[in-house]
Amino acid sequence: MTRSLREVVFVDGVRTPFGKAGPAGMYAQTRADDLVVRCIRELMRRNPQLPADRVDEVAIAATTQIGDQGLTIGRTAALLAGLPNSVPGFAIDRMCAGAMTAVTTTASGIAFGAYDVAIAGGVEHMGHHPMGEGVDPNPRFVSEKIVDSSALVMGSTAENLHDRYPHLTKQRADAFAVGSQDKYAAALAAGKIGPELVPVATRSAEQGWGLATADEPPRPGTTVEALADLKTPFRPHGHVTAGNAAGLNDGATASLLAAEDVAVELGLPIGMRLVGFGFAGVEPEVMGVGPVPATEKALARTGLTIDDIGLFELNEAFAVQVLAFLDHFGIADDDPRVNPWGGAIAVGHPLASSGVRLMTQLSRQFAERPDVRYGLTAMCIGIGMGGSVIWENPAWEGEK
């Protein structure tokens, strides 16, 4: 029996506004599963031509799969969102690249013919579930020197990256962080940020009901001078601060994927076409360099080069991690192709949800850029990994 692979397309993506984790954050008394349920419902509302029973799978990622992020959240979120009982679902974890892996996993199933349509996304409520809650790392990791103890603290791995590449200075990291804030603010003012947001009803025992309609983490007007004086919590006289790293955040994302022929059949929009992807492992102590080999692998497998990529959506867990990627590929720190609407340093990084935020933004940028054929979404991943996904713009007008 021979099989032919099908083209997979990104139909649509949405996200909640991202909040600040903690008792003062806007989602402090909102359940994590309700955040992702809201995203699933919005996807179905925005695409009424898709019969609910045509959804073949729901894959939802969470890094901390306990409490209101547990209980096989892909299945429970599907039920809570009102999808038919016949629609299965599962949970997935690849730390920060959870939603990215939910997309690549279900997309692989679509390409193979196991699914026609899938929903993939992620959620992280870091206010309810701080990173590392409930985990019990095997003591052999450190006692047998499998990893250095710093490998289990993401901020420390970013400091290690500064050590390995001393030319990636704190000044460069701070300047990149200010650029992220400025680009986000400009995109928000221009209406680029907003159409993908799903309003979320929130509650507070003190303030009653509210409606989350905007991202909470951005700090407009941030300056390099202000960042220079921030504390370095991971190391005395270090380089990593709250200003040049993503914060602790709450939020959810969801995307709709389909076989291209099925999307055409159902009249679904085609935001972008999957070209290929790669995941790679690196030393856990410098996990921030992970997107480099992951991207090299994805490029090699698709026959493309870095020069073919016209837009980059790189997750800004730490500024130094993005700088390491840019330096490796000979891309300037302020290259306009990189995170044109800002990144996680400004908008936040609710761990497992962020991969679909990158994809949703790239898809919307493609619609405005018919001159760009290929784009890339990439991110570093805890415990020493990187992930990279290459997409093609269906609006590309060809060589002029």
Please report whether residue 255 resides in a domain.
yes
DSSP β-ladder status, 117-125 and 208-212: unpaired
First to last CA, the chain: 42
pLDDT grade for 193, boundaries at 50, 70 and 90: very high
Checking if the pLDDT of 400 tops 60, the result is: no
Domain membership flag for residue 134: no
pLDDT on residue 96:
97
CB 62 within 8 A of CB 124: yes
CA dihedral sign, ordered 328, 333, 335, 336: positive
Q: In this structure, is residue 108 part of a structural domain?
A: yes
Residue 202, domain member (yes or no): no
- Residue 206 is predicted with a pLDDT of 86
Say whether pTM exceeds 0.85. Answer: yes
Q: Residue 136's CB: how many other CB atoms inside 10 A? A: 6
| Mean pLDDT of the 171-195 span | 98
Sequence letter at residue 189: A
**Is pLDDT at 325 greater than 70 in this prediction?**
yes
Per residue, the 3-state secondary structure of 235-251, as one string, reads: CCCCCCCCCCECCCEEE
The CATH code of the domain that includes 21 is 3.40.47.10
Mean pLDDT of the chain: 97
Provide mean pLDDT across the span 313-336. 98
Mean pLDDT calculated for residue range 96-116:
98
Is 146 domain-assigned? no
Q: Is residue 320 part of a domain?
A: yes
Give 257's strand partners. 10, 118
236 contacts: CB under 8 Å, gap ≥ 6: none
Give the residue numbers spanning the domain of 53.
8-128+246-392
Q: Which residue has the higher pLDDT, 87 or 204?
A: 87
Token reading at 117: 């349509």
Q: For residues 106 and 183, give the distance between their C-alpha atoms in angstroms, rounded to a whole number.
A: 32
Percentage of the chain lying above the pLDDT 70 cut: 99
Residue 370 banded pLDDT, cuts 50, 70, 90: very high
- Distances from the Cα of 387 to the Cα of 4, 113, 360, 367, angstroms: 26, 24, 16, 24
Residues with catalytic roles: 96, 349, 380
pLDDT at 2 over 90: no
Mean pLDDT, rounded, for 17-40: 97
State the residue for tokens 């899938």: 118
pLDDT at 59: 98
Domain count, the chain: 1
Determine, yes or no, domain membership for 361: yes
Q: What per-residue confidence (pLDDT) applies to 204?
A: 87
Confidence of residue 265 (pLDDT cuts 50, 70, 90): very high
Do the domain assignments include residue 226? Answer: no
